[in-house]
Structures are given as structure tokens and as C-alpha cells.
Structure 1
Amino acid sequence: MMKKSRRSFLKVAGIAAIGLGAAPAMNFAASGSNGTALAVKSKNENVLFAHRWGMVIDTNKITDEVVENIVAACHKAHNVPDFNHKVDEEKFPGTRPVNHKQEVKWIWEEHFQYAFPDKEDEFLAEKFHDLPFLVTCNHCKNAPCVKACPTQATFKREDGIVLMDFHRCIGCRFCMAACPYGARSFNFRDPRPFVEEINPDFPTRSKGVVEKCNLCAERLAKGEQPHCVEASEGAILVGDLEDPESEVRALLNENYTIRRKQSLGTEPSVYYVM
């Protein structure tokens, strides 16, 4: 299983590297109608390019059903374990139940007061108390997790995406301590028994490894939208924050948006339309 996982990881990492390496050869980058930059002229004609990838979440379009679909799509595609899943005893004999406080998550629902503790107000509009807020890795411009990692298992690409090299991770969890958003999860045990149906196109992880959202870098490298975008029914857009003509910039110009714990100076790349 580990050999297969390693081969899968190298395959995915290679695709993502091609997408990143294509950037210097770029002749132009124009915005597409889907909110991302159009594929650039490069060796990989399908790769989607951005100077700095960002995400805009329209809270007015988020419902409980949409949240459920987004989380399910993301976690299924990236082999995120579900500790509520019944383990196949024949395949994984002796596997005991897991402490659910050790859950692994890439994107999840959070209440306003926990997602935005610095914006809590005595007279906060009633709708925000019950509104589901999707939270995930913010792919910060000044990512503290990158600075804290001693092995470069956590690193930031030139296009702003913060990634994990699972095979470099030594499980020190310094990155988790450094992240002010709780966006990272640690595998206290082998997560594979708790993946209902393993996606062979994305690497599984092992015990002692940290993981998090990768903004579907493997899909962007193939010219595809992130899973959360496809499942969001128009509630989520990703695109180039540094391209004034992109749809994400248009949304930011036309709407009042907030970011999580902005005062910390991490410069999150995820914005919320209020």
C-alpha cells in the first residue's frame, strides 16, 4: 500500500510541478468566465495559471446542503478519513474505534463566532448566528506554517498555494501550532482504514503525517476547477487575486468582504462575501 501511495504521490506531484514550471514560459494570462485565468501558452496547454491564487466564498449562496456537498466532494477526492465510517474488519483486522476529537478535515463548517472571533459583536445581525461558514486553509501570503516547518514539508509555491509534501513530514506539528486558523489535521493513526473508497488518483497518507487543503493543485495543473468550486453551485470562485480583470477581483470590488483574523498579518487568500 505504501509503495502504491508513494507512486501516486509522485505522479500527482509531477503534474503539479509541470503546472508551476509552466509559469515562466507564459506569454499571456487572461481571465476566463469561470473566475480563473485562462490556460497559458506553455508545454502543458491545459494548466490554469495565476500570479496568486485566491478564493471568494459568497455566504449568501451557502446553504446546509451546499456545505454538505462541498465537504463530501473534497474529502472523497482527497482520501480524507471519516472516523464515523465502519472499518472493514476483514481488510483491517483489529482496527479499533478512533477518538473523534482526532478527526481529519480539509474543509468544514464553522459558526461565525469561531471563524471570526475578532468580528463578534453584541448586535451582530441574527442571520450570521445560524449561517454555515465554510473554512479551510487560507493559503496565506505570509504563511506562518511555512516558516515553522523544519523540513520544508510545508512550502508555498510562486502562485501562492501552500502545499504539503507528505513524505517530508516528520510529524513534529510545528506547522499546526503556527497556523492560527486550525486548518491542519494530524494523523494520529493510519487513516486508510477509515477511507470508505480510496481514490487511486490521489495519494493516501500514513500515521504521523499532517495534511490540509491544497486548493486542488492537481486539478488546476490539468485545467480543472477545484472540487469545492464544482460542488458549490456558484457559491465559491477561485482566481487570480493579482489580476484586476479576474472575476474574483470583480467580486471583491462589488461586495463587502471579510477575511479570517486579518489583524494577524498573515494576509489570507480566502475572502467571504457578506
Structure 2
Amino acid sequence: MSMDRRDFLKLAGASTLVGLGGLSVFDGFVKDGALASQAHTAPGASAGKRLAMVIDVSKFKSPDDYKRVSYACHSIHNVPSIDNLKHEIKWIWTDTYEHVFPGQADQYMAENIMRLPFPVLCNHCAKPPCVRVCPTKATFKRKSDGVVMMDYHRCIGCRFCMAACPFGARSFNWTDPRPYIRKLNTSFPTRTKGVVEKCNFCAERLSAGLQPACVEASNGALVFGDLHDPSSEVREILSSRYAIRRKPNLGTGPSIYYVIGGNEHA
């Protein structure tokens, strides 16, 4: 049975409501399940119950700092470079404060903050609506660390996850992405036409005991670790600095925190 665009949008809208319905306000420290076995994880691999990232915007000093972070991610994950904005694929990119944090600004906020570019990526939510609406379980949340993953072989391209995600963190391959990969990384799988993709918190690197590529390339602007470990660097930063998250009122529990302003302004 064929489905025209109008029918798809109706169904996607309904799925979004289902995915978001019943979510309560999340305080950011949900204890969601026991730690899974790490038998197949290399020594030193991240094994926290809730992996999270802190982005200190004050440590991005130039456009090159942002580009370096994006390039590190996109190059190792074979993210295609497509000039057509309608077909653009992105795992990490930048946007303005008003778009990243709608409704979280006021008339007295410093103009320089409003003009800053803010890195954005999948929020790896504690209660991800994308997982709820996926009919094939192609997108799922790992119980061991809270990372929201994708199985590209299961993805049928329905885009329900894209409709459900309130952060616009997912991209759809409208065309075969492989011809647009500048330099192929043979150690990471490429995607095909009709498949959704997004940031995976560098799960393949975590299993080898490495930090996400964007974190390594950020010169300290991005910090990654276990939110449930009081001695982790992310917890130390969050306990001493004021941080905000995207659209906290939706109750999805984003795992990405933003520190705005340097220590001299704290």
C-alpha cells in the first residue's frame, strides 16, 4: 500500500504525540537501570551508567575551533559533504542561541552571547522520544551507558524518529551519500539512501577506551564522562559552574550541558 506525503505527515505527527506523551519533567539525574556487563569492552573504556557531555562555549576562540571539532566527527564517521542544504547530513554543527535555546533568553542577556555559535548534536536523552516511535527498533538506548544508538540495517526510512526529535538532531539520506564522502574511513560503515543517521557519541571509540573524536579535537572545550560518577570531570564542572540544557521543559533529559561564559564571569 502506498503512502502519500499528506498521509505520512499525519502519521508522523501522531507518532510524535505518542512519543512525547506522558513524559514528566526530568531533573537530569535519572537512575535508569543497572550497569550492563562490560565483558567485551576494552580496559579503560567508558562504563558509566549515564554518559554526558559538557560544552564550554567560552573555550571556542575562533571559527577554526568549531570547524576542527566538526571535521573530527564527520571525517571518522564518513559523514558526506553535500552542498544542497535540503540534503545536508550533519552529526555536529553550530547554530545561534535563539535557535538552540528557544524561550531561554531575556532582554537583558549580553549581546555577545546571543551572537555566539553553539555546537549542537544528538542530546542522547534519558527519555528519548525517537526510541519510542521507531517501529523497527532501529534506534535504541543502551542500558549500559544511556547512549542512543542506531542500527542502520533496521532503519526503514519512515522518519518517525525525525518527527519525534525536538532538537532536529537527525539527518535523512535523500540520496546515496557515498559519492559525497571526501575521504573514506574503512573502519566505520557507510550509510545508504533512505536511512536516517545521527551522532553516536563515538560508541566505536568508547568500546576501545577512547574519548569521542570531537572531545579530543576540542582543546578542552568539550568534556565527556559519567554523569553518575561524582568524581568525573563532567560532574565536577556541573557542580562548580552554571550550565543549561536544551528545551528542559520537554522532559526528555538531554545529556548535553552548556557552560556559557568563562570563569571570570562565574
TM-score past 0.5 threshold: yes
Q: Which of 173, 185, 190 is 2:171 aligned to?
A: 185
1:79-125 per-position Cα deviation (integer Å, ceiling 9, x unaligned): 001013xxxxxxxxxxxxxx322200000011000000121222221
C-alpha contact 1:105 1:185 (8 A) present in aligned 2: yes
C-alpha contact 1:148 1:178 (8 A) present in aligned 2: yes
1:42-81 per-position Cα deviation (integer Å, ceiling 9, x unaligned): 7632422111100000011023221110001100110001
C-alpha contact 1:219 1:225 (8 A) present in aligned 2: yes
1:214-270 per-position Cα deviation (integer Å, ceiling 9, x unaligned): 000000000111000011000001100011111100000000000000000000000
**Which residue is equivalent to 1:77?**
76
C-alpha contact 1:83 1:100 (8 A) present in aligned 2: yes
C-alpha contact 1:62 1:132 (8 A) present in aligned 2: no
**Which residue is equivalent to 2:102?**
117
Read off the aligned partner of 2:198 and give its amino acid letter: K
Q: Structure 1's 201 and 43: CA in aligned 2 closer, same or farther, altered over 3 A?
A: closer
C-alpha contact 1:55 1:269 (8 A) present in aligned 2: yes
**Which residue is equivalent to 2:47?**
49
Whole-Å separation in 2 of the counterparts to 1:208 and 1:73: 25
Q: Which of 264, 267, 270 is 2:250 aligned to?
A: 264
Whole-Å separation in 1 of the counterparts to 2:182 and 2:41: 37
Read off the aligned partner of 2:256 and give its amino acid letter: V
Read off the aligned partner of 2:134 and give its amino acid letter: C
Q: Secondary structure at the match of 2:103?
A: helix
Whole-Å separation in 2 of the counterparts to 1:209 and 1:50: 29
Asked if residue 147 in structure 1 is aligned to residue 170 in structure 2, the reply is no
**Which residue is equivalent to 1:65?**
64
1:120-158 per-position Cα deviation (integer Å, ceiling 9, x unaligned): 222221111221100000000000000010000000001
Moved more, 130-139 or 59-68: 59-68
C-alpha contact 2:46 2:225 (8 A) present in aligned 1: no
Read off the aligned partner of 1:45 and give its amino acid letter: P
Whole-Å separation in 2 of the counterparts to 1:217 and 1:167: 17
Structure 1 unaligned segments of length 5 or more: list them: 1-22, 27-40, 85-98
Whole-Å separation in 1 of the counterparts to 2:161 and 2:151: 13
C-alpha contact 2:41 2:207 (8 A) present in aligned 1: no
Normalised by the size of structure 1, how large is the TM-score? 0.79
Task: Count the aligned residue pairs.
Answer: 224
Normalised by the size of structure 2, how large is the TM-score? 0.81
Whole-Å separation in 1 of the counterparts to 2:152 and 2:42: 25
Q: Which of 197, 202, 207 is 1:211 aligned to?
A: 197
Whole-Å separation in 1 of the counterparts to 2:226 and 2:187: 26
Whole-Å separation in 2 of the counterparts to 1:110 and 1:43: 35
C-alpha contact 1:108 1:134 (8 A) present in aligned 2: yes
CA RMSD of aligned residues (A): 1.4
Match runs of 1:1-274 below 5 Å: 24-25=36-37, 44-63=42-61, 64-84=63-83, 99-158=84-143, 159-274=145-260
Whole-Å separation in 2 of the counterparts to 1:44 and 1:108: 30
Read off the aligned partner of 2:80 and give its amino acid letter: P
Whole-Å separation in 1 of the counterparts to 2:126 and 2:191: 26
Stretches of 4+ moved more than 6 A in 1?
Answer: none
Whole-Å separation in 2 of the counterparts to 1:58 and 1:100: 28
Structure 2 unaligned segments of length 5 or more: list them: 1-34, 261-266
Whole-Å separation in 2 of the counterparts to 1:44 and 1:192: 30
Q: Secondary structure at the match of 1:75?
A: helix
Moved more, 124-133 or 219-228: 124-133
Q: Structure 1's 142 and 24: CA in aligned 2 closer, same or farther, altered over 3 A?
A: closer
Read off the aligned partner of 1:55 and give its amino acid letter: M
Q: Structure 1's 135 and 196: CA in aligned 2 closer, same or farther, altered over 3 A?
A: same
Whole-Å separation in 1 of the counterparts to 2:55 and 2:79: 22
C-alpha contact 1:73 1:231 (8 A) present in aligned 2: yes
Identical positions, percent: 55
